[in-house]
Amino acid sequence: RTAKWRTTTLNFHPAQEPGLIPGCINISPCWFQQGHENPLDGFILEVSATLKSDRSLSLIIDMQHPALLSSAALRVMHPQLYRASMSTHVELGHWVAAHGEDQMYRCLQHWASAYSSAAIVCNRQSPGHRDPKCPPEGFDILTCIGSYKHAVMNLTNLGIDLVYNPGVMVSYSGWLVRHGIRVGEGDRIVWAWFMRDSVHNYAGTP
């Protein structure tokens, strides 16, 4: 099997802006680590690796404005998913309080998004793929910023291409839609908001 498209350096363009580092980080106050999503095997929820530092709280607080925008968009586009996600956050809060998970509890207290996770991606061009760990009925939200030109989102199973300019917000079902992103030139940063089905299942919410 070839290297995973999320991390292989061939899919990241060099930055043109000084101080900008191409790459991808995942941020979540409460999730299963990759490949450890079965509670029957003894795995429990954790704070994502990015938040296991002294800067975790300031990072989450810095994210609150875009988090609220994504939540408002989801509330309008998919009220049922919004309510289910908020119920999940409440149940997770009860779970971490009961188990004395202090760091996770602090992160959840300040997590402003209806989504359980975010990925921040810089200068990545992705091949066609699905996001199989997201709920089939769920919407992911992508928001693009930067100085790039000629980016295209290719929805291969629908047979369409979408112009993907800076400032565009795109919502799609990551599990059902096979998609890829091609980037022309310039620096591009994406906020990707998503949910993990396993987290909803763990919290016992639909």
**3-class state of residue 152 by DSSP:** strand
Does 1 score more than 50 pLDDT? no
Q: What angle do CA 134, 140, 145 make, to 5 degrees?
A: 140
Model pLDDT for residues 7-65, shown as the tens digit of each residue:
788 889 899 998 899 988 899 999 887 666 666 666 788 899 889 988 899 999 999 99
Which is it for strands 169-172 and 140-146: parallel, antiparallel or unpaired?
antiparallel
**Residues whose CB is less than 8 angstroms from the CB of residue 18 and which lie 6 or more positions away in sequence, other chains included:** none
Model pLDDT for residues 86-138, shown as the tens digit of each residue:
999 999 999 999 999 999 999 999 999 999 999 999 998 887 777 777 777 78
